[in-house]
């Protein structure tokens, strides 16, 4: 295959969902190249066919989508079904010079990419598959230090120890934070409010009624419940928390809390599928999480930093590709 030249950039290609984008950025930001983010949308019927693709995937992009164009990058990191055709199209357009990395199970043969980084609970294997615990994220010591200073006025006055409560929502695989679950969680948190500072962050997936239940139930408890207005205090909560309560539906938030090395209590939900239970059990087996029963415990473990481990694997791929290119160039000299 002819090897083309590429620019020194990393492209992050996703459908724009925050959880997917953060996984890719968590890897890209640990590398040295400039990062460009592409939020792409395929036209029908190509959107429904993804991750399968036919013809030129660039022609299938919606007009409101970001439009990738040459010069092609040294690296593409993608996540999500719609990203797959575009990552593969970049690889072809660069004559194989672009290294392609896909987060999560791409739902096609992993050999279509240079590297696939799925969570262990997807149980995907192959010579170019690099499974990790949970999902990569953007949490670093430096970002936490900055966030602690930024939100000192908001969270510093709260009673210590401070508990960050990270609430997810609807999920196909991990159960749902419905109003019944929200009521149960709020009752347990209210019981802690007299001895702990409570910081609650809901997510885009949290049903509006469930978010209202939490806000209204904790209104007189002294808890800080983010209502979506003003700067997002999520990183500040991670930085100020001495312990966490995370709803069982969110792999990303569980891993982000675990990146701090502080105790992570998991609030159980009904109807979680086998993969969800696999992930939760693996986190418990590693000494990272324990079930939330209404009390806060203290324990320690090495902070989870799978993004750094995966980034090192990507660096080795880039180094190998660069060495191979140099050898070809020397051979032509």
**199-233, pLDDT tens digit by residue?**
999 998 899 999 999 999 999 999 999 978 888 99
- What is the average per-residue pLDDT within 230-237? 94
pLDDT tens, position by position, 85-131: 999 999 999 999 999 999 999 999 999 999 999 999 999 999 999 99
The mean predicted confidence, pLDDT, of the chain is 94
Is residue 13 predicted with pLDDT exceeding 50?
Answer: yes
Domains of the chain: 7-133+306-332 (3.40.50), 141-291 (3.40.50.2000)
| Range with lowest mean pLDDT among 98-112, 255-269, 280-294, 310-324 | 310-324
Burial of 4 (0-12, 13-18, 19+ CB in 10 A): middle
Query: What residue ranges in the chain does DSSP mark as E strands?
Result: 7-14, 35-39, 73-79, 99-103, 115-117, 162-166, 197-201, 224-226, 243-247, 264-267, 289-291
DSSP, res 139: -
Is residue 333 predicted with pLDDT exceeding 70?
Answer: no
pLDDT tens, position by position, 42-82: 999 999 999 999 999 999 999 999 999 999 999 999 999 99
pLDDT tens, position by position, 162-186: 999 999 997 776 678 999 999 999 9
Burial of 242 (0-12, 13-18, 19+ CB in 10 A): middle
Terminal-residue alpha carbon distance, the chain = 19
Percent of the chain surpassing pLDDT 90: 87
The SS3 assignment for 298 reads coil
Going by pLDDT thresholds of 50, 70 and 90, the confidence category of residue 326 is low
Going by pLDDT thresholds of 50, 70 and 90, the confidence category of residue 328 is low
DSSP secondary structure letters along 47-100:
HHHTT---S-GGGGB-TTS----SSPEEEEEEESTTHHHHHHHHHHHTTT-SEE
The first and second tokens of residue 196, run together, are 């702990």
Give CA–CA dist 30/245, Å, rounded.
27
Report whether the peptide linkage leading into residue 77 is cis, meaning its omega lies within 30 degrees of zero.
no
**In the prediction, which pLDDT does 1 show?**
41
Report whether the peptide linkage leading into residue 42 is cis, meaning its omega lies within 30 degrees of zero.
no
Percent of the chain surpassing pLDDT 70: 95
The first and second tokens of residue 184, run together, are 């149960």
Going by pLDDT thresholds of 50, 70 and 90, the confidence category of residue 331 is low
Sheet containing strand 243-247, edge to edge, reads: 224-226, 197-201, 162-166, 243-247, 264-267, 289-291
Is residue 254 predicted with pLDDT exceeding 60?
Answer: yes
Report whether the peptide linkage leading into residue 45 is cis, meaning its omega lies within 30 degrees of zero.
yes
DSSP secondary structure letters along 172-200:
SSS----HHHHHHHHHHHHHHTTTSEEEE
- What is the average per-residue pLDDT within 319-326? 79
Give CA–CA dist 136/117, Å, rounded.
9
């Amino acid at each position: 295959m002819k090897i083309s030249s590429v620019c020194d950039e990393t492209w992050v290609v996703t459908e724009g969902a925050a959880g997917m984008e953060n996984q890719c950025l968590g890897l890209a930001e640990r590398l040295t190249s400039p990062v460009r983010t592409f939020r792409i949308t395929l036209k029908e019927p190509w959107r429904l066919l993804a991750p399968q693709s036919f013809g030129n995937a660039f022609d299938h992009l919606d007009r409101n989508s970001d439009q990738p164009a040459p010069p092609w990058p040294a690296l593409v990191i993608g996540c999500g079904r719609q990203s797959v055709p575009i990552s593969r199209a970049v690889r072809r357009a660069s004559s194989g010079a672009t290294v392609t990395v896909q987060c999560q199970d791409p739902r096609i043969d992993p050999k279509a990419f240079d590297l696939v980084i799925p969570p262990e609970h997807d149980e995907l294997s192959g010579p170019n598959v690099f499974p990790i615990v949970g999902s990569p994220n953007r949490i670093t010591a430096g970002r936490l230090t900055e966030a602690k200073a930024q939100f000192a006025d908001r969270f510093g006055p709260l009673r210590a120890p401070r508990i960050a409560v990270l609430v997810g929502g609807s999920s196909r695989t991990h159960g749902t934070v419905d109003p019944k679950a929200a009521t149960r969680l709020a009752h347990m948190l209210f019981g802690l409010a007299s001895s702990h500072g409570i910081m609650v962050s809901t997510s885009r997936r949290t049903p509006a009624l469930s978010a209202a239940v939490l806000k209204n139930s904790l209104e007189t408890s002294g808890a800080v419940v983010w209502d979506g207005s003003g700067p997002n205090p999520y990183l500040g909560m991670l930085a100020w928390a001495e312990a966490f309560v995370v709803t069982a539906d969110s792999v990303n938030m569980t891993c982000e809390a675990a990146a701090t090395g502080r105790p992570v209590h998991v609030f159980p939900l009904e109807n979680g599928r086998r993969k969800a239970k696999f992930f939760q059990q693996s986190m418990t087996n590693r000494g990272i999480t324990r079930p939330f029963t209404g009390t806060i415990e203290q324990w320690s473990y090495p902070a989870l930093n799978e993004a750094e481990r995966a980034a090192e694997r990507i660096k080795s791929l880039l180094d190998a590709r660069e060495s191979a290119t140099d050898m070809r160039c020397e051979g032509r000299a």
